[in-house]
Amino acid sequence: MRKYFGTDGVRGIANEELTAELAFKIGRSTAYVLKSHDHPLNNVLIARDTRISGEMLEAALVSSVLSMGFDVTTCGVMPTPVLAWLTRRNHSVGFMVSASHNPWMHNGIKIFSNGYKLQDKLEEEIEKHLSDDLKSIEIGRRIQKNMLSEYVEWMVRRYAHLKGVRIAFDLANGAAVSTVPTITSEIGMKTTLFNSNPNGVNINEKCGALHPEFLSERIENAEVDFGVIHDGDADRCIMIGKHGYVVDGDDMLVLNAKFMKENGRLGADTVVGTVMTNLAIEESLKRNNIEFVRTKVGDRYVLEKMQEIGATLGGEQSGHIIFLDLVTTGDGLLTAFETISTCLKFGIDIEEFSHKVKRYPQKLENVSVKDKKTIMSNSRVIKFVEEVNSQEEIRLVLRPSGTESLVRVMVEGKTQEIVDKTVSRACKIVKEVSDSGEIS
């Protein structure tokens, strides 16, 4: 059982749970383990988002990797998908210092090798060596280099046809500020930027992918063709139609799948989603002779399934979409450009398209608990979930948060009344079990 690594790297409150000391140990242990497994450590890349603790954790990681005898290139502020793209292009290892969509006081460390996040077994091995006295007789050198130019050039070449498109961006005061202004300017887009002035503590603050209403309210009557919203590390994309209608990841999966298939890009004629994906999405895809496969929540599980079955499109309602024929992880800007390209090529109004994908009522609530692992293994909770899911008109998913002491309760059904009642019952049972301290 891993103590530090969750579904998306190591997360915690900076300087409390995720300290500089822990970051140093993670960097040192990672270098030791990956070297033993012949991963490419000729030049380690380290990037961060805009939160104030990023420089502290970056410095700790730099020192730890240098102490193990490997050179380090510090990339500064950079989106997570750009770092992943660079590690694949340069056959290297990268550390991303970011807590994605979480508030500024949180931070995290994600590790990539050749474009992909590390496998669970490697993360477990890294944890085993965190307290070891690891040393090297060699000392690495720190290199400071503008690593963004390669990615910028690639994006500008691929999406040059979007010249003149009018887009309003919400950059969440996050890492997208390092790429979006440059790329859109070089393409020749007409852009309006919101939340593009990070100060270290305003990342994701009442803006970004968790708050689409911010941009929706501002472009409802503006002269724009699309709105694009990122989260703090820019691996997500939520879109807004020209009249302010929110278009989420589920909509983009359906839209892109239909036309990737038409162009021969849809691997295995299959889309990969999660247990949280609305049933209406699955039904819409199947009407277009496209298969749909579900995984656990988390982009790493979506990616694993895509690789297993040969799919090239997968993602989540949150806007984390993977175009595996182009990149190895969710890339918010690429997702936006792919979706816009599809709309323009086939004359699609993204709002009208989204309205046609009728959703089943779905509701999500978070329940604060003392021990989320105990809740998920409790016999009373398990029995209730089985009873609900034995009925045809309702679907219940309980899952522990990967970063907080929460159990997420999602219910989907044919009527809002059934959904509301089931959510209420589920939350009550979870809370009762947590408060009573039941362990079985």
Nearest residue to 290 (alpha-carbon basis) of 322, 307, 314? 314
Given a cut of 70, is residue 440 above it in pLDDT?
no
Averaged pLDDT of the chain: 94
> Which SS3 state, helix, strand or coil, does residue 161 take?
helix
Helix extents (H) in 159-204: 180-187
Give the 3-state secondary structure of residue 246.
strand
The percent of residues in the chain predicted with pLDDT above 70, rounded, is: 99
pLDDT tens for 261-293 read: 999 999 999 999 999 999 899 999 999 999 999
- pLDDT tens across 340-377, in order? 999 999 999 999 999 888 889 999 999 999 999 899 99
- Of 19, 22, 4, 82, nearest to 53 by C-alpha is 19
Structural tokens at position 215: 């941009």
Which positions are catalytic? 100
pTM for this structure?
0.92
For 38-56, the pLDDT digits (tens) are 998 888 999 999 999 999 9
**Residue 323 and residue 266: Cα distance in Å, rounded?**
9
Mind listing the domains of the chain with CATH numbers?
5-145 (3.40.120.10), 154-245 (3.40.120.10), 249-332 (3.40.120.10), 362-436 (3.30.310.50)
Long-range contacts of 154-161 (CB under 8 A, 24+ apart): 154/85, 155/179, 155/183, 155/333, 155/334, 155/337, 156/183, 156/186, 156/187, 158/337, 159/187, 159/337, 159/341, 160/187, 161/341, 161/344
Distance CA 193, CA 151 (A): 20
DSSP 8-state assignment for residue 118: P
Give the residue, 437 or 270, on which the prediction is more confident: 270
CA distance 284 to 413: 16
DSSP string, 25-92: HHHHHHHHHHHHTT---SSEEEEE-SSTTHHHHHHHHHHHHHHTT--EEEEEE--HHHHHHHHHHTT-
